[in-house]
Amino acid sequence: MSFSQGWDAGFKSLLIYVGVVFFWLIFLEKYFADQGVSVLAMNIAGIALGLGFFVYRRRSCKNERAAAEAEIAALLAEER
């Protein structure tokens, strides 16, 4: 994973967290009797979704890089 890919995935993970916070506060906060429990659940959900996206992007980048390296190796083997 290159720096730019990591930066992009990290920034999108942060945006996912912020989106979860807004969604939670607008639609789900009213269903919790205790605000502390709601904030805890919101943070757990936001962090889990953000980290899940980052791990998914990291795995995708590694797979794309492996496929590109295999293609280059096949092209170099063809030339011989």
Domain with 61 in it? 3-79
Rounded to two decimals, the pTM is 0.84
Tokens at 32, concatenated: 């919790």
User: Could you read off the pLDDT of 40-77 as tens digits, one per residue?
Assistant: 999 999 999 999 999 999 999 999 999 999 999 999 99
Closest CA to 25 of 49, 54, 46, 53: 46
Tally of domains within the chain: 1
| Rounded Cα–Cα distance for residues 55 and 37 (Å) | 27
